[in-house]
Structure 1
Amino acid sequence: MIPRVLFDHEHEEFRNTVRRFLAEECTPLHEQWEEDRVVPRAIWRRAGELGMLNATTPEAYGGLGLDRRLTMIAVEEVARAGLSGLVGFNVHDICAGYFINFATEAQKQQWLPKMAGGEVISAVAMTEPNTGSDLQAVKTRAVLDGDEYVINGAKTFISNGTNCDVVIVVAKTGNSGKGAADISLILVEADRVGLTKSKPLRKVGQHAQDTTMLFFEDCRVPKENVLGGVPGQGFYQLMKELAWERLSIGILSMAASQAVLEQTIDYTRGRTVFGKPIIDFQNSRFKLADLKAEIAIGQTYVDRCMELCLEHTLSPEAAAAAKLWCTELYSRVVDQCLQLHGGNGYMLEYPVARHYLDSRINRIYGGANDIMRELVARSL
């Protein structure tokens, strides 16, 4: 297959560091984290020490000041290891992007250094109980009262919701009726009076990735907590960062697909049926060959999108296409690989079963795939 050219020796050294950390300090404990429905904060701090959090944060704010290839490696290795509880690292990185690109100097100084070190965990609160991918229709409202905004509303499916120390909240601050012009992003400290977190939500998969509802009841924050200091910029800020979020989901999906394929090839070599290994049946080999070809194609597209991202020329349509195609492929790979495992594929001791539970959400979060189709269709 076509070799990847995105990474140099230093990138691969970082990959080895991440891989060791995940194997030695995360994989043995992940099942307990799934029981607890949360990843311990100590793991976040350790990841910060290793440079896994916010590699793109400038050195002046405690980061490494590097490009997104290190973030890509971290996403890939977490996905390959099947550690869905650590998907929150990716959310944290996305939040850092909002701070780096749009925050005031004071906001950057306050939050970015601690985020880079894993001392502060961040979340972004977009989705509401009755509002999904239509962000202009949010009901959460922030009303200016003197020098403070008073926030009321509810958010759901908030990744890092249990652990988070700061939340980037999508709220309406205007009354123009023009939709996008009324949206702002507001920084809310998790210990603010009026902000309440639910217990971790019980999900089909990704059990260790803490996900909660957030409730705002007359929650007061200084008006200076508007991201960037100017209200009405939230929708623009969201649209600028969503392309990376969607590409990162594509990156995760491709790495996880490759891992599942490799695990299934190993399984079919060792498992015998009618006196010979499963892989010796032509039907099995052809299915695996099809999946290998599709994964190679998807990886090539994702890597090209990453090159465009590094050049700051990645279009929303290209990112949407990556998210759409790669997540659909991930589900197909898992389904076919589970079938090749037979009954063992339905047992959680086999990685493919965990992927079966964890993969489905990728076609929903970051914008449901039918919304991705609509975004791609706009470019027709």
Structure 2
Amino acid sequence: MIRDTETLQILLDSLRQFVNEALIPRENEVAETDNIPDDIVVQLQEMGLFGLTIPEEFGGMGVTMEEEVNIAFELGRTSPAFRSYIGTNNGIGSIGILLDGSQEQKLKYLPGLASGELLSAFCLTEPDSGSDAASLKTSAVRDGDHYIINGTKRFITNAPHADIFTVMARTNPDIKGSGGISAFIVERDTAGISLGKRDNKMGQKGAHTSDVIFENVRVPASQLIGGVEGVGFKTAMKVLDKGRLHIAALSVAAAERMLADSLQYAIERKQFGKPIAEFQLIQAMLADSKTEIYAARCMVLDAAKKRDQGLNIGTEASCSKMFATEMCGRVADRCVQIHGGAGYVSEYAIERFYRDVRLFRIYEGTTQIQQLVIARNMIRDAQS
């Protein structure tokens, strides 16, 4: 649901200008230094981009899902590292607090997250717990007015920079599944927290991940999200539909950027005395990509509108995430092919995007997990 079309369009126009003039020109710098420049971070803060999804009462913009995916269509046209840096504050790093946190927790953390003064990280994945998140082993044992947390979290986005961690830990070892898992807000300077080395990833330079290690970390019981044990996994699952739609929208935007670059290259590149854009096999790859991008965009917008209407979009979110991310991979492959040998060298952005977008098919639930979610929902609905 778009609350004010004119206001949203002003924001989107500003974002498009910011992406074109401030972010795209710095992509190579980020890739080469593996770091987002401080002046860019300040601009992200000044534009309010850390608080897009946080309600206005806590200093954010409180955008709807439809507004959010339209914003992602703009931000996703540049290096994913920029979006990743603000992403946890707008997604899994804040939504759990917003949905299930106490009023005291919301007032303490959400304004700082909205302004970008605080950076968040979401600690769910472990060395032996990925897609099967309910099997996590990190423990939180009650000790008077505190919990003692022990365990290791893996591939945690923004961990090297985070000020607070939302940590999923098992408070009831007798419950082996998701029912024994609780969620905690753990501040960075708490004794016993250490970080592993930064992960050296295939792509997405500038977006940092690492292990987060908890060794006898004493956390006040007041940091238990919502003050209730055993609902942490449910909190985590509540943000999945939203996160999956967001990644789907980013995939659409990245595909549009790759296609635009490739179309321009095909118009300018000449072989056999004419632009390669005139070759029908090149045209087929351009047309297939355009068609799939259009289909994915329509899916994402439809699912976003339904979520804003309060409908259950578990199936639609998984469909959108699966189709859009797989589509993005196919477009990336075609665009490298259109560039030919030039697409295999870092002089052109497509080489970097080809590596960057590969992650979209993995996080927020792999393609295979989306297939299982979709099929199980279909079977459940047919039997109900």
TM range (shorter): over 0.9
Given that 2:65 and 2:242 are in contact with CA atoms closer than 8 Å, whether structure 1 keeps it comes out as no
* Aligned length, in residue pairs: 376
Given that 1:33 and 1:85 are in contact with CA atoms closer than 8 Å, whether structure 2 keeps it comes out as no
SS in 2 for 1:201: coil
Tell me which residue corresponds to 1:201. Answer: 199
Farther-moved stretch of structure 1 (121-130 vs 44-53): 44-53
Tell me which residue corresponds to 2:253. Answer: 255
Given that 1:205 and 1:358 are in contact with CA atoms closer than 8 Å, whether structure 2 keeps it comes out as yes
Tell me which residue corresponds to 1:17. Answer: 14
**Residues in 2 aligned to 1:174 and 1:42: alpha-carbon distance in whole angstroms:** 45
Tell me which residue corresponds to 1:164. Answer: 162
Q: CA deviation at 1:193?
A: 0.7
SS in 2 for 1:378: helix
1:91-170 alignment, distance < 5 Å: 91-94=88-91, 95-170=93-168
Aligned residue among 75, 81, 84 for 2:81: 84
1:31-70 alignment, distance < 5 Å: 31-40=28-37, 43-70=40-67
Given that 1:55 and 1:63 are in contact with CA atoms closer than 8 Å, whether structure 2 keeps it comes out as yes
* CA 194–204 in structure 1, closer or farther in 2 if over 3 Å, else same: same
1:1-380 alignment, distance < 5 Å: 8-40=5-37, 43-94=40-91, 95-380=93-378
Given that 1:338 and 1:346 are in contact with CA atoms closer than 8 Å, whether structure 2 keeps it comes out as yes
SS in 2 for 1:80: coil
SS in 1 for 2:207: coil
* CA 270–249 in structure 1, closer or farther in 2 if over 3 Å, else same: same
Farther-moved stretch of structure 1 (195-204 vs 78-87): 78-87
Q: Given the two structures, how large is their TM-score scaled by the length of structure 1?
A: 0.94
**Residues in 2 aligned to 1:105 and 1:296: alpha-carbon distance in whole angstroms:** 41
* CA 53–140 in structure 1, closer or farther in 2 if over 3 Å, else same: same
* CA 63–185 in structure 1, closer or farther in 2 if over 3 Å, else same: same
Q: CA deviation at 1:36?
A: 4.1
Q: Structure 1 segments of 4 or more deviating over 6 A?
A: none
Q: CA deviation at 1:40?
A: 4.7
Q: CA deviation at 1:54?
A: 2.3
Farther-moved stretch of structure 1 (78-87 vs 22-31): 22-31
Q: CA deviation at 1:210?
A: 1.1
* CA 194–40 in structure 1, closer or farther in 2 if over 3 Å, else same: farther
Percent identity over paired residues: 34
Farther-moved stretch of structure 1 (288-297 vs 22-31): 22-31
**Residues in 2 aligned to 1:33 and 1:339: alpha-carbon distance in whole angstroms:** 25
Q: Please, which runs of 5 or more residues in structure 2 have no aligned partner?
A: 379-384
| AA aligned opposite 1:193 | A
| 1:160-195 residue CA offsets vs partner (Å, 9 max, x unmatched) | 111110010111011232511101111110111111
Given that 2:79 and 2:204 are in contact with CA atoms closer than 8 Å, whether structure 1 keeps it comes out as no
| AA aligned opposite 2:51 | N
| AA aligned opposite 1:50 | M
**Residues in 2 aligned to 1:262 and 1:7: alpha-carbon distance in whole angstroms:** 29
| 1:314-340 residue CA offsets vs partner (Å, 9 max, x unmatched) | 421211111111100000000011001
Given that 1:45 and 1:119 are in contact with CA atoms closer than 8 Å, whether structure 2 keeps it comes out as no
**Residues in 2 aligned to 1:302 and 1:326: alpha-carbon distance in whole angstroms:** 8
SS in 2 for 1:353: helix
* CA 279–247 in structure 1, closer or farther in 2 if over 3 Å, else same: same
Given that 2:166 and 2:183 are in contact with CA atoms closer than 8 Å, whether structure 1 keeps it comes out as yes
| AA aligned opposite 2:5 | D
* CA 205–85 in structure 1, closer or farther in 2 if over 3 Å, else same: farther
Q: CA deviation at 1:11?
A: 1.4
| 1:276-313 residue CA offsets vs partner (Å, 9 max, x unmatched) | 11110111112211111111111111110110121121
Farther-moved stretch of structure 1 (21-30 vs 180-189): 21-30
**Residues in 2 aligned to 1:224 and 1:69: alpha-carbon distance in whole angstroms:** 34
| 1:246-282 residue CA offsets vs partner (Å, 9 max, x unmatched) | 1111010011111111111111010011111111011
Farther-moved stretch of structure 1 (288-297 vs 23-32): 23-32
CA RMSD across the alignment: 1.8
SS in 1 for 2:141: strand
**Residues in 2 aligned to 1:14 and 1:55: alpha-carbon distance in whole angstroms:** 11
